[in-house]
Structure 1
Amino acid sequence: MSRRARTALFLLGLCALLNIYSTQPLLPDLARDLHVPVGRSTWTITATTLGVAVMAPFAGSVSDYLGRKRVMVAAIGATLAATLACAVAWNFAAMLVCRFAQGLLIPFVFAVAVSYIAEECAGPAAQGANALYVSGTAFGGFCGRFLSGAVTERFGWRSSFVALALVLLVTLAVTAAWLPRERRFRRSHSLLASLQGIGRHFGNARLLGTCFIGASILFLQVGSFTYAGMRLEAPPFALSSFEIGAVFAVFLVAVVVTPLTGRLISRIGRLRTYVLVSLVSLAGLALTLIPSTPAVIVGLAASSTGVFSGQACAIGYAAEAGGPAKSSAVGLYLTSYYAGGSIGAVAPSPLYTAAGWSACAGLLAAVVGVSALVALVVWQPAAVGRPQLIEEPVYD
């Protein structure tokens, strides 16, 4: 795969996570200016993840009929418009509508990009491309949060959405110019035929188990950064919006480490890799319990690295487990993934209110442990991480 194509894949990953959690460092500002409690302001995250969960099963089917690159380019342009709309939201309800619209559009990038990789690459090449793409999502998660926090600190939260729109504009231009058109894509003869493939996945135990693992992964990520961020804003830490946004620089560790996950999967298998990265996340959660800003930051770095490496394990297996209906399988996975994120944004709230961050960390650790047990059951070693002997396509 050419360097330009790899750059486009990385930016597609960035685009997939750029907007979803961009309001995390802004929650106190949004609550104050839009006249809602801070706890309710977390719905600016949930609205977007719910939008993704609603649309994800259908995005791949639409691209089965219309084509991969065409759908992704159109979706990035529409997301850019929805992001600008957030900047002019006049009340909390309008903000939620705009954020939900962003969520509806994101699967047309996220799910379709994964299907594109599964079709255009194979074996170790596919694992490497998936890891690069997930690395892009890690950078997008950092960029969205950090940029929002930095711009809000100086110019206010409305300007932060304009800054994110500029990033989307660059992604749109690079994707349109550098991403090769799909070569192995086989167009569905009708949209209805593509949609009918979704129902067949509900009898696929391995795919459903992988969907649960995906939900657990994002539950951990959203829950940890949302409520650890609130903890860092409160005494004795008392960090500003900019400083909380800067904490998301820990995502850069995942940007570097995640591409190596593809190699690790090829060497020791997907199951062992997932168990290993789950242990890294658990160790990170333990570190966040230490009442020290450096310890919390290092803990979040370890936790997020485990999350993105786990995502590289799970999303590639979802595409494999879907068989011929890869796009709808990935769509179902993403629905579960973002549904888990939606729950992770709000479910720990009562625990945080009643017992603080330590109770939240205990809940998140339990979810990680259950997901590892599910992986042990549904990811059979003989079927996991085994490269397919298909030559990687050459891009001009």
Structure 2
Amino acid sequence: MSLRAETAVFLLGLCALLNIYSTQPLLPDLARDLHVPVEQSTWTITATTLGVAVMAPFAGSVSDYLGRKRVMVTAIAASLAATLACAVAWNFAAMLVCRFAQGLFIPFVFAVAVSYIAEECTGPAAQGANALYVSGTAFGGFCGRFLSGAVTAHFGWRSSFIGMALVLLVTLAVTAAWLPRERRFQRSDSLLASVQGIGRHFGNVRLLGTCFIGASILFLQVGSFTYAGMFLGDPPFELSSFEIGAVFAVFLVAVVVTPLTGRLISRIGRLRTFVLVSLVSLAGLGFTLVPSTPAVIVGLAASSTGVFSGQACAIGYAAEAGGPARSSAVGLYLTSYYAGGSIGAVAPSPLYTAAGWSACVGLLAAVIGAGVLVALAVWSAGTGRPHRIEEPAYD
């Protein structure tokens, strides 16, 4: 894969996560200006993840019929328009509608990009491209949160969405110019035939188990950063919106580490890699219980690094488990993944209100354990290793 193509793949990953969690540092500001309780403001995250979950099963099927690159470029342009609409939302309901619209377009980038990689790269080249893509999502998660927090601190929260739109504009230009057109794509006979193929996946136990794992991964990520952000805004920390946004710089650790996950999978297998990175996330959660800002930041860095590495394990397996219908398999995985994130944004709320951050940590640790148990059940050691090497499909 050429450097230009790698840059486009990285930016597609960035685009996939840029907007979803960009309101996390803004929750107090949104609650104040849109006249809702701060706990209710978390629905600005859930609305977007629900939009993703609703559309994800169909995004791959649409691209099966219309083509990969065309669909991704169109989706980025539509996402840019929805992001600008958020900047002019006049009340909380309007904000939720705009955030839901953002979520509807994201699967046409996320699911389709994973299918594109699975088709155009093979063997360890595919592992590397998947890891690069997930690394891009890690950077997008950081960029969205940090940029929104920084812009809000100086210009207000509405301007933060304009900043997101500018990043999407760059991604749109690079993808259109530098991402090679698909070579191995085989067009579906009809859109209906492609959509009908989704139902066959419900008999695939390994894929369904992987979907649960994906849900647990994003539940952990959204739950930890949403409520850790609130935790850091409360006494004794009392960080500002800008400072909370800066905490998301810990995602940069995952940007560096996640590309190495593909190599680790090649050496020790997918299952062992997933168990290892899950233990890293669990240890990170433990660190956040230390009543010190540096300790909380270190803990969140470890937890998020484990999450993105775990995602590199799971999403590649979802594409493999789907067989010829890989795009709809990835779509089903993403529905589960973002449904887990939607639940993770709101499920810890009663625990946080009643018992604080430590109760949330207990719930998140249980979710990590459930994901590992399912991986042990559905991923055998043999299926965790990639196939023999073939040369990349393009250079």
- TM-score normalised by the chain length of structure 2: 0.99
Distance in 2 separating the partners of 1:73 and 1:388: 31
Q: Deviations over 1:137-157 (max 9, x none)?
A: 000000000000000000000
Does the CA-based 8 Å contact 2:134-2:312 persist in structure 1? yes
Deviations 1:24-64 (A, max 9, x none): 00000000000000000000000000000000000000000
**Residue of structure 2 equivalent to 1:393:** 392
- Paired with 1:387 and 1:105, the residues of 2 have a C-alpha distance of 31
Taking the aligned partners of 2:191 and 2:393, their CA distance within structure 1 comes to 30
Distance in 2, matches of 1:307 and 1:195, equals: 30
TM-fit CA distance, 1:160: 0.2
CA distance in 2, matches of 1:83, 1:66: 24
Q: 1:394 to 1:209 in 2, by over 3 A?
A: closer
SS in 2 for 1:325: helix
Q: Find the counterpart in structure 1 of residue 212 from structure 2.
A: 212
Shift of 1:123: 1.1
**Counterpart mapping for 1:265-280 below 5 A:** 265-280=265-280
Report the 3-state secondary structure (helix = DSSP H, G, I; strand = E; otherwise coil) of the residue aligned with 1:235: coil
Question: How far off is 1:122 after superposition?
Answer: 1.0
Q: Deviations over 1:260-304 (max 9, x none)?
A: 000000000000000000000000000000000000000000000
Alpha-carbon distance, 1:391 to partner: 2.2
What's the secondary structure of 2:39's corresponding residue?
A: helix
8 A contact 2:120–2:394 mirrored in 1: no
Q: Secondary structure at the match of 2:389?
A: coil
1:118-171 superposed Cα distances (whole Å, 9 cap, x missing partner): 000111111100000000000000000000000000000000000000000000
Q: SS state of the match for residue 323, structure 2?
A: coil
Give distance in 1, aligned partners of 2:394 and 2:205: 36
How far residue 378 of structure 1 moved from its aligned partner, in angstroms, is 0.2
SS of structure 2 residue aligned to 1:89: coil
Distance in 1 between the 2:130 and 2:83 partners? 26
State the SS of the aligned residue for 1:181.
Answer: coil
Residues 12 and 109 of structure 2 are in contact (CA less than 8 Å); yes or no, is this contact kept in structure 1? yes
CA shift, 1:394, in A, is: 4.6
The 5 A counterparts of 1:85-100 are: 85-100=85-100
Compute the displacement of 1:15 (Å): 0.0
RMSD: 0.7
Query: In 1, Cα distance between the equivalents of 2:240 and 2:353?
Result: 21
Q: Provide the rounded CA distance (Å) in 2 between the counterparts of 1:312 and 1:202.
A: 22
Looking at structure 1, the residues matched to 72 and 179 of structure 2 have their Cα atoms a distance apart, in angstroms, of 10
Unmatched 5+ residue regions in structure 1?
Answer: none
Contact 2:11 2:136 in 1 (8 A): yes
Q: Deviations over 1:175-218 (max 9, x none)?
A: 00000000000000100110011000000000000000000000
Q: Percent identity?
A: 90
- Aligned-residue offset at 1:390: 5.4
Structure 2: unaligned runs, 5 residues or longer? none
Distance across 2 between alignment mates of 1:368 and 1:113: 27
Q: Measure how far apart 1:383 and its partner are.
A: 3.8
Q: What residue number does 1:373 align with?
A: 373
Tell me, in whole angstroms, the C-alpha distance in 1 between the residues paired with 2:161 and 2:40. Answer: 20
Residue 203 of structure 1 aligns with which residue?
203
CA–CA separation in structure 1 for the residues paired with 2:235 and 2:121:
49
CA distance in 1 between partners of 2:196 and 2:270 (Å): 30
- Conserved? CA contact 2:125–2:392, under 8 Å: no
- The residue aligned with 1:302 is 302
Distance 1:340 1:383 in 2: 27
| Offset of residue 84 of structure 1 | 0.2
What is the TM-score with the length of structure 1 in the denominator? 0.99
Hey, what's the Cα distance between the residues in 2 that align with 1:344 and 1:123? Answer: 34
The whole-number CA distance in structure 2 between the counterparts of 1:338 and 1:27 is 20
Query: How many pairs were matched up?
Result: 394
Q: Distance in 2 between matches of 1:80 and 1:383?
A: 42
1:193 matched to 2:159? The reply is no
Output one character per residue of 1:60-99: Cα deviation in whole Å (capped at 9) or x when no partner.
0000000000000000000000000000000000000000
**SS of the residue 1:42 aligns to:** helix
